[in-house]
């Protein structure tokens, strides 16, 4: 089996991928964000997807989407052809698409929304953690994708804070480092301010003493 970053060579599978996405969603009784042939073709030809094949037959697929001007990345549309399921294919595809996302967007947080146990397991192994929706992208366009879901009313009723999908988020180390760096520099700034305050509090009696001394000297020189 081959697991490859997509290219124009894989455009021949796009109809089959779109059809299987639709059929699987119907079988699961869930809605999905609508993916047109044009949209999927663009992902494939731009190299923003991973395709699994075996002897020229399509096996599986997943693609990358970016949100909030590249601050967030989602690995979406994971699908494995029914006859190839339960053989670890989704795990291999997700691993490859995750690696590709990290290469292309090293500072982006990677997230996913899912009701599927398989995806939850795979995401956990990759280091994703469950989070509430406010931790995800707030990009309107992303949330508009939920409009085709049968649970959209629930999402809106809950003011987009939660719904039936579990939200999972991977925060890259460099993001944690950057956030830690920000906290550290804020702490440094505030400790410098308080040190300066302490210093001026320490110096105040000295200044006052010096002033008094000067006044005394002036007074004594005047009296001479």
Ligand X SMILES: CC(C)(COP(=O)(O)OP(=O)(O)OC[C@H]1O[C@@H](n2cnc3c(N)ncnc32)[C@H](O)[C@@H]1OP(=O)(O)O)[C@@H](O)C(=O)NCCC(=O)NCCS
Q: Which residues form the interface with ligand X (CB under 6 A)? A: 24, 78-80, 85-91, 114, 116-119, 121-122
Q: Cβ closer to ligand X: 150 or 207?
A: 150
- Asked if 92 and 99 count as a contact pair (C-beta separation under 8 A), the reply is no
Locate 5 and state its tokens. 């970053």
Q: Write down the least CB distance from residue 191 to ligand X, Å.
A: 46
Q: Cβ closer to ligand X: 22 or 105?
A: 22
Cross-strand partners of 2: 53
* Cα distance between residue 30 and residue 89, in whole Å: 22
Q: Cβ closer to ligand X: 143 or 175?
A: 143
Burial class (CB in 10 A: 0-12, 13-18, 19+), 137: buried
Q: Write down the least CB distance from residue 187 to ligand X, Å.
A: 40
**2: part of which helix (H) or strand (E)?**
strand 2-5
Q: Write down the least CB distance from residue 190 to ligand X, Å.
A: 44
Cross-strand partners of 54: 57
Q: Write down the least CB distance from residue 139 to ligand X, Å.
A: 19
Q: Write down the least CB distance from residue 59 to ligand X, Å.
A: 9
Q: How many CB atoms lie within 10 A of CB 36?
A: 9
Q: Cβ closer to ligand X: 127 or 175?
A: 127
Q: Write down the least CB distance from residue 160 to ligand X, Å.
A: 19
* Cα distance between residue 90 and residue 60, in whole Å: 7
Q: Cβ closer to ligand X: 119 or 126?
A: 119
Q: Residue 13, SS3?
A: helix
Q: Cβ closer to ligand X: 116 or 127?
A: 116
Burial class (CB in 10 A: 0-12, 13-18, 19+), 1: middle
């Amino acid at each position: 089996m081959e697991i490859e970053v997509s290219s124009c060579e894989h455009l021949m599978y796009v109809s089959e991928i779109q059809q299987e996405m639709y059929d699987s969603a119907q079988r699961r009784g869930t809605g999905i964000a609508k993916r047109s042939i044009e949209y999927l073709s663009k992902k494939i030809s731009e190299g923003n997807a991973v395709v699994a094949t075996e002897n020229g037959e399509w096996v599986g697929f997943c693609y990358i989407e970016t949100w909030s001007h590249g601050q967030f990345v989602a690995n979406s549309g994971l699908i494995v052809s029914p006859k190839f399921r339960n053989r670890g294919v989704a795990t291999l595809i997700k691993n490859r698409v995750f690696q590709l996302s990290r290469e292309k967007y090293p500072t982006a947080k990677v997230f996913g929304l899912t009701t599927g146990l398989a995806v939850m397991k795979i995401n956990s192994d990759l280091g994703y953690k469950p989070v509430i929706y406010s931790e995800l992208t707030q990009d309107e366009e992303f949330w508009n994708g939920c409009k085709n879901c049968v649970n959209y009313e629930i999402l809106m009723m809950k003011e987009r804070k939660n719904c039936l999908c579990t939200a999972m988020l991977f925060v890259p180390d460099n993001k944690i480092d950057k956030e830690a760096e920000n906290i550290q520099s804020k702490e440094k700034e505030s400790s410098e301010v308080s040190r300066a305050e302490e210093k001026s509090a320490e110096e105040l009696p000295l200044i006052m003493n010096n002033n008094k001394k000067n006044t005394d000297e002036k007074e004594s020189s005047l009296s001479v």
